Structure 1
Amino acid sequence: MTLLFVAIGAALGAPARYLTDRAIQRLHSGHFPFGTLTVNVAGSLVLGLVAGGTTTTTGVYALVGTGFCGALTTYSTFGYETVRLLEQDAPRRALANAVVSIAAGLGAAAAGVAIGAALWQ
């Protein structure tokens, strides 16, 4: 049953990632990967909410945490886009992407855990 929850969550998270990334990138002209930054920070917040409010043995965690957030967020695209910025001779943008992505993701996850714990425990 857990595998089914993960698959359903992933089936929802992957299109959400694609649609969100495209919508955000349309709003921002330029070469900075705002779409990937947005989905990664949002996914970190949601995962923190779930982790702070549930246990790892529940179907909710499998559905939302592993499935949805696993498909929504993307470390590989973050890494690729950072390298691409370096290749385009934009080292400041590459550094900003790395620093902001990591700091905002960690902050969002920590906030999510705190909020989730306060709301559901």
Structure 2
Amino acid sequence: MIEIALVGLASGIGAIVRYLFSNLSVVFKKIGFPLGTYLVNIIGSLLIGYFFGKFGNQSENYKIFATGFCGGLTTFSTYNFELFDLLDKHDYKHFAEYFLLSYGLGFVAVIIGLALAK
């Protein structure tokens, strides 16, 4: 029962950090790139890789930090909405950059996180 509470607490903290990063999107709105969501998703990918490499995916620590904190931090729904918004605005350059960088660098970040944990 305490593990569930800790996952919930960590998730809440991750969501607060994501909210703070979302303010970057407002600051950098003039560049047309959703920087806040991009950064939390890349950082979250790095951390998930790190936590997996450090704890394995069955440990209590992994569940608290990866499932909880990173689950609250990263956001697939906002990412997809922002992709749609870029397409709706016919901003194909930023759409392609955001899509390719998020998936490409997100995957690389997981690998880096795994390497850092070892």
TM-score, normalising length from structure 1?
0.89
Contact 2:25–2:33 (8 Å) recurs in 1: no
Residue 91 of structure 2 corresponds to: 90
Distance, in Å, in 2 between the alignment partners of 1:28 and 1:62 is 34
Residue 38 of structure 2 corresponds to: 37
Deviation at 1:57, TM superposition (A): 2.7
Distance, in Å, in 2 between the alignment partners of 1:114 and 1:18 is 28
3-state SS of paired residue (1:29): helix
Distance, in Å, in 2 between the alignment partners of 1:115 and 1:55 is 14
Distance, in Å, in 2 between the alignment partners of 1:102 and 1:22 is 22
Residue 73 of structure 1 corresponds to: 74
Decide which moves more: 51-60 or 25-34: 25-34
C-alpha RMSD over aligned residues: 1.4
Deviation at 1:3, TM superposition (A): 1.2
3-state SS of paired residue (2:20): helix
Contact 1:49–1:109 (8 Å) recurs in 2: yes
Deviation at 1:24, TM superposition (A): 5.4
2:3 maps to amino acid: T
Decide which moves more: 93-102 or 50-59: 50-59
Identity %: 31
1:46 aligns with 2:47: yes
TM-score, normalising length from structure 2?
0.91
CA offsets 1:85-107 (integer angstroms, 9 cap, x no match): 00001112111110011011001
Residue 16 of structure 1 corresponds to: 17
3-state SS of paired residue (2:24): helix
Deviation at 1:59, TM superposition (A): 2.0
Deviation at 1:82, TM superposition (A): 0.6
Decide which moves more: 4-13 or 54-63: 54-63
Deviation at 1:114, TM superposition (A): 1.3
Distance, in Å, in 1 between the alignment partners of 2:65 and 2:26 is 25
3-state SS of paired residue (1:98): helix
